[in-house]
Amino acid sequence: MTNPEIVLPEDSRRSRLQRAPKGDMTEDVATAMERVEAFWAKYPEGSILPEVDTRIVDDGQSLPYPVFTVRAYVRKHSESERPDAVAHATRGENDEDELVRLRPQESAETAAISRAIRNLGILATPTKTSPAAAISAPQSDEAIGADVTAARERSELSQRDLASGMTGRGFKWSQATVSQVEKGTRPLRLGEAQHLAELIGFGGVR
């Protein structure tokens, strides 16, 4: 399947994956549509396949509302058995953002696809960067874990999102792995750190 039709919401908001900390917004981050266009330009034989899971949430405080979790599978070549990158996003009608509340499924698809493409390294490097944690040597596993946490939170990624990004790069990471690294109970390997630098700007590198 080549160049499937994917309808993205028509808005100019920036992808949440690249959103700078509140109060320090930059104007050089890529929009989801820009990433999609860059992906097709680089991999015209590729594919972008989103899967949608819907559930109804009843928190007892308001009317039940739907929440959509979209997992996006991106392949450089549509015939590949395994995706080259995977990412997911969850949005619901309870979101603080008005546009998201009106179109939660489309917003989740946009975010998931943008994240997956970014995990391939496409439009992942802005011309400006927010302050990032610098690595000083020597550091304990706990200190490195704290730096990973800070970098992940600046990128507004959940532990599960980061695990998906690392899995898309060939590492067997789960949410538990991210938690262990951030707590310092699992050492971070050099190869992993290099990919974290590209994904979340860990170590002051993006």
User: Within a domain: residue 105?
Assistant: yes
**For the segment 166-177, what is each residue's pLDDT rounded down to a tens digit?**
888 888 999 999
* Domain enclosing residue 163, as ranges: 141-204
Torsion, Cα of 104, 52, 29, 45 (10° steps):
-140
Q: How far is CA 28 from the centre of its chain?
A: 17
What per-residue confidence (pLDDT) applies to 188?
Answer: 92
Q: Flag whether 136 is in a domain.
A: no
pLDDT tens for each residue of 139-169: 788 989 988 988 888 877 788 888 888 888 8
Answer yes or no: is 34 within a domain.
yes
What are the residues facing 48 on neighbouring strands? 74
Residues 194, 146, single domain; the answer is yes
Same domain, residue pair 25 and 115: yes
Assigned domain for 3 exists: no
CA distances from 180 to 53, 80, 157, 162, 197 (A): 28, 32, 16, 13, 18
Q: Which tens digits make up the pLDDT trace of 78-117?
A: 888 888 888 888 888 888 888 888 899 998 899 899 888 9
pTM above 0.95, yes or no: no
More confident residue, 168 or 22: 168
pLDDT tens profile 179-200:
999 999 999 998 888 888 888 8
Q: What total number of domains does the chain contain?
A: 2
| CA–CA distance, 166 with 45 (Å, rounded to integer) | 24
| pLDDT tens, position by position, 28-78 | 346 888 889 999 999 999 999 999 999 998 877 778 889 999 999 999 998
Whether residue 135 lies inside any domain: the answer is no
From the list 74, 77, 83, the residue with the least C-alpha distance to 44 is 77
